[in-house]
A and B are shown apart, each in its own frame.
Chain A
Amino acid sequence: MLKTFNDPKLFYQFAGSAVKPIFLAAAVLACVGLYMAFFVCPIDATQGNSYRIIFIHVPAAWMSMLIYVLMAFFSLFTLAYGSPMSAVMTRALAPTGAMMCFMALFSGAFWGRPTWGAYWVWDARLTSELILLFLYLGFLALQSSIADRRRADSAGAVIAVVGVVNVPIIYFSVRWWNTLHQGASVSVKGSSMAQIMLYTLLVMVAAFMCYGLGTVLARSRSVILERERRETWARKAAIKGEL
């Protein structure tokens, strides 16, 4: 098992067999989740229909934080052992994380306008999430601007590890400061939402997780090929049409 995750060739094959079923699961979950979000969940008594944005806003925000933590986790291995696959995973995670982070901010803005009366406020939660987007963009810019692969890997790993301090700040911002952004509705202890809305949200979270996993695995395959293109296994597979 561990060998699969540390060997580019084995991981390439494993990811190849996993991508399609995972995307299929994401599509099914998204269909169910969207149906529940628009046709099963009733209109909210205080917020009207704008609350339906929660079903993409919360999953996107959770994914943006989860992906960054994963990037930091893999980056530790890159810095400590220089293991090739950890750098591949960090690179594969970053674009999807940046997309989720942007989506959380964008959907939040379009929820804030009808609810708070403003697209943007310099609230602690919003500002720290914006910093997360800059960390993602900084990571991506750094990786693409350094030609030497190993240097790019370690520079990116440093950003990922140092920047992870921002994630607990985002998470706890609604408790540490008086924010316009509301506190957590869903926690381990329970939820302050109506049951059906909570279930819909959880289905959408599962859909986002599958989508994220699918895109990261698919991208990791391209990253592996880009790095291993001079290796015999990759060249043989290319000629046989087995990539």
Chain B
Amino acid sequence: MDFSAVGEFFHMNGHGFYVWSAYGMLAFLVFCEIVTLRKRRVKIINRLTSEARAVRDTLSL
């Protein structure tokens, strides 16, 4: 692979900072949103499961 071509790609004719800042922020936010969603789900499932276990006898499983 030609490294000057890779360098040029990231340089973006002088607009690299702007382009990569915008795309970078999007990547960061998508990552954060997915992590937050995952955490929220795990948290409520753990809570629900422990509460359900406490009243297991009343559930007539």
Contact = CB atoms under 8 A, between A and B. Distances in A.
Interface of A: 38, 43, 48-50, 52-53, 56-57, 60, 95-96, 99, 102-103, 106-107, 110-111, 113-114, 211, 215, 218-219, 221-222, 225-226, 229-230, 232, 234-236, 238-240, 243
Contacts, number: 99
A114 to B, nearest CB: 5
Interface residues of B, number: 33
Interface in B13-61: 13-16, 18-19, 21-23, 25-26, 29-30, 33-34, 36-37, 40-41, 44-45, 47-49, 51-53, 55-56, 59, 61
A42 to B, nearest CB: 12
A203 B48 CA distance: 39
A211 B19 contact: no
Nearest to B51: A229
A222 B41 contact: yes
Contacts of A53: 18-19, 22-23
Contacts of B45: 225, 238, 243
Interface of B: 9, 12-16, 18-19, 21-23, 25-26, 29-30, 33-34, 36-37, 40-41, 44-45, 47-49, 51-53, 55-56, 59, 61
Contacts of B14: 48-49
Contacts of B18: 50, 53, 110-111, 113-114
Contacts of B33: 95-96, 99, 215
